[in-house]
């Protein structure tokens, strides 16, 4: 579907009105929003590229078990000690805002502004004005639902109105955070008014008072005149280390990806990893502000350094496929073109053999085949071209409905798919507006970080106190016979593995339904897990690795105490988990939150493998309203999780996720099975070695 503002708004409403939106839907919506951004900035057609839902599923999976991976942790503010004085002109990192520099005085919020309007409590928590932009952060309490759409403008004392450039919002438990970015203010502006529209019937006015930034309110960048530092350029792509700000308890830096050709971007998210010459993995927490173009730049914080370290920054693409990075180049300004005539009364399944050469930039592509996939969707097949994986098509007609880069044709050819409300009956000109291709290489920066300066500090800006919400008390369904039976079986299986010290080794495999255009996961992959437990059975350390069928690592992560790091993608952070004992029970949370999620849980004894008897538990969750994913003709109305439990051992050994559709049909999406659970005194040296390489913050 073309993600117009109207359909995006509808999707957003669906997202926030669903208690448990599917990860695939969230991923698809994010891609729609990204390409809506591209349209606003380059006036190109908004259509979806190849996409994969594996990483979102991995994150969900990791959240649901002890190998929890926190890829985004809020940055803690630094505390100022000593005398504060106005300095104004500084270059450095401002917590929450990002890096700033320039010759003009930098202004920040003088004090928290608070306004009450129609039952809402609004507070301006932070504002920064430098020579590039003005940015403001607002907290809103008592909104009954997420803001559907809010906009804003500034009014200066002389009556000048300044329009919004971009905005962002988050909503959780009735607390909303809004951020607005505007063009740079005129020099020395200290008083202005922020107007917020579409929260209530009338615009809300919030007066702002600004003052020059003071010493300690930012972490100064290093004085060494050595940044940016670049990796080697390979296939027109470079990694750049732009800015570094060494603080007393952290080092903050910004990296960017640079392309030789304009209108080029990495498909999917990219990140970096940080390690030293000996292979030690350093912690990275991403702190990119939401007004920075994440497709181009990212901010991270890590530990303070002595200045003697020899580090390596490495660019990684998410997901990683054969150590290649997937790239899209936009040719909307000068697209390749070809004519196709479907003829009279074409029928679904009809095939046209073609031989049409199309020049798109430096790519000489050849259309070899077309197929009418259904009544209104055409699949164009292109002859194999080195490293090209797909194209995005467009036709200048109001009948166009959708477009996407198709899956490989199976013979190294690639495809592009375009759909219509009604297939034209006359010849039509098609445009190739984007070309997708992969590049292989290593983008690394060798870096000696600056030492933490003596007395380096940065204070928090004036910020309203965040209310503390009561923590819900867990109420277990202790009188539920099915729950008690599941718990008895789970406790029976877990007991021997909770007797430490030692290691628990688990091997699982997963089979997945692969969607068109999905890169990862593959239809099959295997997981290898190692848990070190203490004398009381509490997990101390763990290592988790996903492999493809041929042994290639998809991702690898480690947890030490409540700190997790992903070796593959570079994310790290502290988990909010309490110490816990080893357990393979995955149904406890479903029983615990059954009332909250309105889940239907049932169980029955069935025959299972090797002639054994099993207890089959089904957890059914219905969505508040059906969700139609892009490229699907049916809408998902619910999800069922089936879990098989061995009645003899108590092991929950098989898990099956099923999509329910609004027409009454259903489809198995994933099947995951435990192949091995064993307890050992010692783990292999390579497992212990990986865990020993982790540098704790």
User: Is the residue at 628 inside a domain?
Assistant: yes
Task: Please report whether residue 223 resides in a domain.
Answer: no
Rounded distance, CA 305 to CA 314, Å?
18
Tell whether 470 is covered by a domain: no
Residues 6+ apart with CB under 8 A from 665: 634
Considering its fold, how many domains does the chain have in total?
A: 5
Q: What pLDDT is stored for residue 582 in this prediction?
A: 93
Last residue of a domain, one of 212, 243, 262: 212
Residue 458, pLDDT score: 40
Count of C-beta atoms within a 10 Å radius of residue 469: 10
- Same domain, residue pair 668 and 688: yes
Check residue 478 and give its pLDDT.
65
**Other CB atoms closer than 10 Å to residue 319's CB: what's the count?**
20
Same domain, 341 and 418: yes
Domain that holds residue 151: 107-212
The string of DSSP letters for 347-402 reads: -TT-EEEEEEEEEETTEEEEEEEEEEEETTEEEEEE---TTEEEEEEEESSTTEEE
Domain end (from 439, 467, 498) = 439
User: Residue 243, Cα to own-chain centre: how many angstroms?
Assistant: 24
CA-based angle 514:518:519, to the nearest 5?
Answer: 110
pLDDT along the chain (697 residues), means of 10: 39 40 43 41 31 35 28 24 35 89 85 88 94 94 80 95 91 86 93 92 92 89 80 95 91 96 90 89 87 92 91 85 85 96 89 96 96 89 94 91 77 90 90 94 94 58 32 56 95 94 96 73 91 93 90 86 83 79 92 89 91 94 84 85 96 96 92 96 92 82
- The answer to whether residues 640 and 497 belong to one domain is yes
Query: 508 and 525 in contact (C-beta within 8 Å)?
Result: no
CATH code assigned at 87: 2.60.40
**CATH code for the domain of 116:** 2.60.40.1640
Residue 185 in contact with residue 108, Cβ under 8 Å? no
Q: Is residue 531 part of a domain?
A: yes
pLDDT value, residue 532: 95
Same domain, 535 and 639: yes
69: in domain: no
**613 vs 635: CA distance, rounded Å:** 35
pLDDT of residue 476: 56
518/651 same-domain check: yes
Last residue of a domain, one of 212, 242, 260: 212
In this prediction, residue 183 carries a pLDDT of 95
Does one domain contain both 311 and 286?
yes
Looking at the DSSP assignment, which residues form a beta bridge with residue 243? 254
| Residue 60 forms part of a structural domain | no
C-alpha 602 chain-centroid distance: 34
pLDDT number for residue 295: 92
Q: What is the pLDDT of residue 520?
A: 67
Tell me: do 94 and 169 sit in the same domain: no
Shared-domain flag, residues 543 and 636: yes
DSSP string, 473-531: PP---TT-HHHHHHHHHHHHHHGGGGS-SEEEEEEEEEEEPPPTT--SS-SEEEEEEEE
CA distance 248 to 251: 8
Quick one: 12 and 157 in the same domain?
no
pLDDT for residue 631: 59
543-577 core/surface letters (b: 16 or more CB in 10 A; e: else): bbbbbbeeeeebbbbbbbebbbbbbbbbbbbebee
The Cα–Cα gap between 439 and 392 comes to 18
* Residue 507: CATH number of its domain: 2.50.20
Query: Is residue 697 one of the residues assigned to a domain?
Result: no
Whole-number pLDDT of residue 70 = 23
| CB neighbourhood size of 199 (10 A) | 23
pLDDT of residue 552: 79
Q: What is the DSSP string of 312-327?
A: EEEEEEES-BTTEEEE
609's tokens: 């493998």
Are residues 170 and 150 both part of a single domain? Answer: yes
Domain co-membership, 240 together with 299: yes
How far is 214 from 485, CA to CA, in rounded Å? 62
Q: Please state, in angstroms and rounded to a whole number, the distance separating the CA atoms of residues 452 and 460.
A: 19
Q: What is the CA radius of gyration of the chain?
A: 27
Same domain, 485 and 544: yes
Residue ranges of E strands in 130-246: 133-141, 151-156, 161-163, 166-172, 175-183, 191-197, 204-212, 219-220, 229-230, 237-246
Torsion of CA 203, 207, 213, 216, to 10 degrees: -80
Tokens 């698809």: give the residue.
Answer: 28
Whether 352 maps to a domain, the answer reads: yes
């Amino acid at each position: 579907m073309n993600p117009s503002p109207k359909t995006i708004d509808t999707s957003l409403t669906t997202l926030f009105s669903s208690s448990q939106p599917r990860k695939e839907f969230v991923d698809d919506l994010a891609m729609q929003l990204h390409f809506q951004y591209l349209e606003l900035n380059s006036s190109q057609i908004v259509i979806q590229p190849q996409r994969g839902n594996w990483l979102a599923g991995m994150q969900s999976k990791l959240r649901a078990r002890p190998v929890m991976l926190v890829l985004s942790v809020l940055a803690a503010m630094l505390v100022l000690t000593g005398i504060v004085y106005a300095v104004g002109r500084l270059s450095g990192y401002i917590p929450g805002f990002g890096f700033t520099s320039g010759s003009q005085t930098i202004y920040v919020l003088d004090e928290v502004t608070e306004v009450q309007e129609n039952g809402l409590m609004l507070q301006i928590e932070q504002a920064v004005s430098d020579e590039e932009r003005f940015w403001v952060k607002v907290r809103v309490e008592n909104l009954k639902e997420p803001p559907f759409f809010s906009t804003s403008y500034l009014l200066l004392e002389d009556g000048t109105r300044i329009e919004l450039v971009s905005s962002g919002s988050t909503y959780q438990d009735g607390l909303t955070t809004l951020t607005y970015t505007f063009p740079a203010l005129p020099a020395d502006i200290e008083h202005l008014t922020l107007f917020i529209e579409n929260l209530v019937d009338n615009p809300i006015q919030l007066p702002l008072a600004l003052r020059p930034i003071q010493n300690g309110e930012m972490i100064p960048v290093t004085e060494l005149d050595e940044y940016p530092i670049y990796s080697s350029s390979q296939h027109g792509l470079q990694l750049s280390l732009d800015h570094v700000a060494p603080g007393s308890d952290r080092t903050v830096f910004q990296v960017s990806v640079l392309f030789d050709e304009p209108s080029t971007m990495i498909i999917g998210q990219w990140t970096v990893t940080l390690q030293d010459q000996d292979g030690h993995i350093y912690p990275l927490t991403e702190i990119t502000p939401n007004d920075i173009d994440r497709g181009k730049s990212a901010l991270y914080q890590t530990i303070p350094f002595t200045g003697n370290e020899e580090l390596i920054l490495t660019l990684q693409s998410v997901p990683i496929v054969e150590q290649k990075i997937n790239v899209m180049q936009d040719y909307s300004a000068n697209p390749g073109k070809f004519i196709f005539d479907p003829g009279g009364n074409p029928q679904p399944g009809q095939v046209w053999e073609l031989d049409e050469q199309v020049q798109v930039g430096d790519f000489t592509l050849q259309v070899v085949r077309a197929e009418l996939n259904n009544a209104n969707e055409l699949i164009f097949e292109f002859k194999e071209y080195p490293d090209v994986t797909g194209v995005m098509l467009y036709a200048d007609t109001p009948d166009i409905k959708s477009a996407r880069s198709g899956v490989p044709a199976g013979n190294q050819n690639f495809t592009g798919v375009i759909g219509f409300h009604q297939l034209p009956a006359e010849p039509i000109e098609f445009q190739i507006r984007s070309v997708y291709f992969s590049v292989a290489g290593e983008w690394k920066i060798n870096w000696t970080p600056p030492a933490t300066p003596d007395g380096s500090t940065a204070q928090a800006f004036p910020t309203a106190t965040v209310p503390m919400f009561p923590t819900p008390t867990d109420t277990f369904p202790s009188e539920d016979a099915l729950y008690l039976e599941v718990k008895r079986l789970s406790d029976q299986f877990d007991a021997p593995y909770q007797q430490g010290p030692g290691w628990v080794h688990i091997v699982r495999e997963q089979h997945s339904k692969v969607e068109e255009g999905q890169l990862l996961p593959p239809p099959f992959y295997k997981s290898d897990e190692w848990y070190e437990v203490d004398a009381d059975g509490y997990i101390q350390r763990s290592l988790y690795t996903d492999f493809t069928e041929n042994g290639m690592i998809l991702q690898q992560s480690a947890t030490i105490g409540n700190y997790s790091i992903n070796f593959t993608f570079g994310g790290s952070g502290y988990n909010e988990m309490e110490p816990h004992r080893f357990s393979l029970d995955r149904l406890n949370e479903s029983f615990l939150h059954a009332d909250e999620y309105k889940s239907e849980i049932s169980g029955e004894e069935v025959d299972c493998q090797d002639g054994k008897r099993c207890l089959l538990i089904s957890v059914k969750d219905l969505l508040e309203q059906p969700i139609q994913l892009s490229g699907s003709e049916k809408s998902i109305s619910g999800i069922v999780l089936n879990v098989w439990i061995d009645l003899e051992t108590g092991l929950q050994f098989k898990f099956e996720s099923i999509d329910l559709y609004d027409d009454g049909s259903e489809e198995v999406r994933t099947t995951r099975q435990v192949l091995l659970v064993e307890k050992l005194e010692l783990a292999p040296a390579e497992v212990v070695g990986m865990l020993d390489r982790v540098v704790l913050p």
